[in-house]
Amino acid sequence: MYDRLTGVEERFSEVEKRLSDPKILNDREAYQKYTREHADLGKIVSVFRKYKQTVTELDESMELLRDKDPEIKEMARDEVEALTLKKEDLEKNLKRLLLPKDPNDEKNVIIEIRAGTGGEEAGLFVSDLFRMYTKYAELKNWKVEVLNHHATGIGGLKEIIALIHGKGAYSFLKYESGIHRVQRVPETEAQGRIHTSAVTVAVLPEAEDVEVHIDPGEIKVDVYRSTGPGGQSVNTTDSAVRITHLPTGIVVTCQDEKSQLKNKNKGMKVLRARLLDRMTREQNEKRSQERKSQIGDGDRSGRIRTYNFPQGRVTDHRIGLTLYKLESILQGEIDEIIEGLITYYQTQALQNAESAGVH
């Protein structure tokens, strides 16, 4: 690990020199590239330099343990104890910082929320979750763009797909993929019985054109009139678009815009994201379990969180975290849950790296 960190520090110094080079300063693309690298490496180098300073101070304190003066030896013992703990903490931090970085972390995300079991009540909770993520995005100064949605007749949503623009959006939201369960008394329930409904959330990194090439000959585009709740026509022109990717069978529909071209462009964004997600998951299946946990792709297969309205309780089942602040969470205050998930998956990745002999 020390050799790797030394290499990182050398690269950091090299990048610093390049940032002062007039040629780089006049090349906007190169300057931005090196600025990003400098910032990323700087996080590691800052901790590494603290670590080296701590090791030096620890060595000096160890020397003082040999002093004949009892008072100096006692002070040295206290110093050694404190510095040893500090060194261990810095080592753990450095190991986390050296973990392989998810290449998608800095990307925008496409979030897809769909009603599962529970009928109309599930549709209402889709609306609640979308509002929660929208409020969270506002707190982060991110922008939310609805790509497609299908409303129900009582104010809910069968599904909604949105693009969230924001630096590092994927790194924060990637663990939201999965089944979100809600327990509450529906407004239509006369007996006051608690119903359990489920909603699925999928979080996909936005894919660039260069990452996913789509052959125009491999897609089929159908146009039709947009429809609202109950099937009534919304627009008088065939502006809604259905895109079918023939090799995979993936189908994307988009009808939110009155322009057929805009709907097609939005639909292609969703299609690219789904194809990138499919490619990533296929690659992950070929890799070891350790690598899969390191990149933290989020488990979409099972129940991840329960929102219990009668008790005002939210529980994330993956990390065993229960919070009695459901209202504020539904207002987008989900940082505590997200930070807990990030720490949990980083710790898992660190343990897997150590068990695999990565030092």
Give the CATH number, domain containing residue 37: 1.20.58
DSSP helix/strand/coil, 307: strand
Domain endpoint, select from 48, 68, 97: 97
Residues 40 and 8 in one domain: yes
Residues 71 and 20 in one domain: yes
How many domains is the chain partitioned into structurally? Answer: 2
The band of 109, judged by pLDDT with boundaries at 50, 70 and 90, is very high
Q: Is the pLDDT of residue 292 over 50?
A: no
C-alpha distance from residue 267 to each of 106, 134, 241, 310, 356 (Å):
22, 21, 8, 39, 42
DSSP for 229-274 reads: GGG-B--SS--EEEEEETTTTEEEEE-SSS-HHHHHHHHHHHHHHH
Domain endpoint, select from 74, 97, 120: 97
Rounded mean pLDDT, 270-287 = 82
Residues 246 and 269 in one domain: yes
Q: Is the pLDDT of residue 228 over 70?
A: no
The band of 304, judged by pLDDT with boundaries at 50, 70 and 90, is very high
C-alpha distance from residue 329 to each of 133, 135, 309, 311, 338 (Å):
10, 10, 12, 14, 11
Residues 44 and 162 in one domain: no
Let me know if residue 22 belongs to a domain: yes
Tokens encoding 105: 């972390």
Let me know if residue 217 belongs to a domain: yes
Residues 6 and 138 in one domain: no
Q: Is the pLDDT of residue 299 over 50?
A: no
Let me know if residue 298 belongs to a domain: yes
Residues 23 and 73 in one domain: yes
Residues 157 and 33 in one domain: no
Burial of 231 (0-12, 13-18, 19+ CB in 10 A): exposed
Contact yes or no for 312/190 (Cβ under 8 A): no
Q: What percent of the chain has pLDDT over 90?
A: 48
Query: β-pairing, 303-308 with 178-184?
Result: parallel
Let me know if residue 356 belongs to a domain: no
Tokens encoding 72: 């100096």
The band of 309, judged by pLDDT with boundaries at 50, 70 and 90, is very high
The band of 58, judged by pLDDT with boundaries at 50, 70 and 90, is very high
The per-residue pLDDT for 190 is: 62
Q: Which of 120, 111, 126, 124 is nearest to 180 (CA)?
A: 126
Comparison of pLDDT for 86 and 36, the residue scoring more: 86
Q: Is the pLDDT of residue 298 over 60?
A: no
Let me know if residue 355 belongs to a domain: no
pLDDT (tens digit per residue) in 14-28: 999 999 999 998 888
Residues 155 and 304 in one domain: yes
The per-residue pLDDT for 59 is: 92
Q: Note the helical H segments in the chain.
A: 2-19, 22-25, 28-64, 70-97, 119-139, 169-173, 260-286, 289-295, 326-330, 335-355
Distance, first Cα to last Cα, the chain? 5
Domain endpoint, select from 97, 131, 148: 97
DSSP helix/strand/coil, 324: coil
Contact yes or no for 37/15 (Cβ under 8 A): yes
* pTM listed for this prediction: 0.69
pLDDT (tens digit per residue) in 315-345: 999 999 999 999 999 999 999 999 999 988 8
Q: In what order do the strands lie in the sheet with 240-245?
A: 219-224, 240-245, 250-254
Residues 309 and 229 in one domain: yes
pLDDT (tens digit per residue) in 128-137: 999 999 999 9
Show the domain range for 236. Answer: 109-348
Rounded mean pLDDT, 198-226 = 86
Comparison of pLDDT for 96 and 109, the residue scoring more: 109
Give the C-alpha separation, 37 to 247, whole Å: 38
